[in-house]
Amino acid sequence: MSLRQKLILIFISAAIALGVSEYVVRKFRLAPEMALQQGNIRFVNNLKMVYEYIPSSYVGPSRTNKQGFYDFDFTLEKPTNLIRIAMLGDSITQGAFVPLETTFSRRLEADLNQRARSQQLLARYEVMNFGVGGYNLEAEVEVLKEKAILYNPDVVVFNLYFNDNEPMPGVDLLFVGNYSRLTEQQQIDVIKKYVENRGSLVRWLERNIFYRSKLYLFVVFRLGNLNAARAKLSNLRSIPGQISSDMQGIYRGFSEIARLQREYGFKLLFCIHPNLLFGENENDMKFASIADSFHFVHFDMFPYYKNEPIAPESLQLEERPKDFLHPNEFGHALIARAMFLELKKYGLLDSRL
> Is residue 19 assigned to a domain?
yes
Tell me if 221 is assigned to some domain. yes
Burial class (CB in 10 A: 0-12, 13-18, 19+), 214: buried
Residues 216 and 154 in one domain: no
Determine, yes or no, domain membership for 17: yes
Q: Strand pairing of 175-177 and 267-272?
A: unpaired
Cα torsion 148, 153, 158, 159: sign: negative
Residue 11 lies in a domain: yes
pTM to 2 decimal places = 0.80
What domain count does the chain have? 2
Statement to judge: residues 127 and 29 lie in one domain: no
In tens, the pLDDT along 55-94 reads 999 988 899 999 999 999 999 999 999 999 999 999 999 9
Whether 69 and 149 share a structural domain: yes
What is the per-residue pLDDT for 311? 73
**Domain that residue 13 falls in:** 3-37+168-234
Residue 219 is assigned to a structural domain of this protein: yes
Report if residue 351 sits inside a domain: no
Render the burial of 262-300: b for 16+ CB within 10 Å, e for the rest: eeeebbbbbbbbbbbeeebbebbebbbebbeeeebbbbb
| Nearest-angstrom CA–CA distance, 96 and 101 | 12
Answer yes or no: is 353 within a domain: no
Give me the amino acid identity at 347: G
pLDDT tens for the chain, 353 residues: list them.
788 888 888 898 999 999 999 889 888 877 766 655 567 888 787 888 888 999 999 988 899 999 999 999 999 999 999 999 999 999 999 999 899 999 999 999 999 999 999 998 888 999 999 999 999 999 999 999 999 999 999 999 999 999 899 888 866 666 555 555 566 666 666 666 666 666 678 777 876 788 778 888 778 766 654 433 343 333 333 344 455 678 988 999 999 999 999 999 999 999 999 887 777 789 999 999 999 999 999 999 999 988 888 776 677 766 555 677 888 898 999 999 999 999 999 999 875 54
Order of all β-strands in the sheet with 298-300: 124-129, 82-88, 155-160, 267-272, 298-300
In a domain, 26, yes or no: yes
Q: Do 173 and 154 share a structural domain?
A: no
So what's the pLDDT on residue 225? 41
Q: What is the pLDDT of residues 92-143, one digit of tens each?
A: 999 998 999 999 999 999 999 999 999 988 889 999 999 999 999 999 999 9
* Contact call for residues 155 and 267 (beta carbons, < 8 A): yes
Same domain flag for 182 and 212: yes
Q: Decide: 51 and 120 in contact? Cβ < 8 Å.
A: no
**189 lies in the same domain as 311:** no
Question: Is residue 266 domain-shared with residue 187, that is, in the same domain?
Answer: no
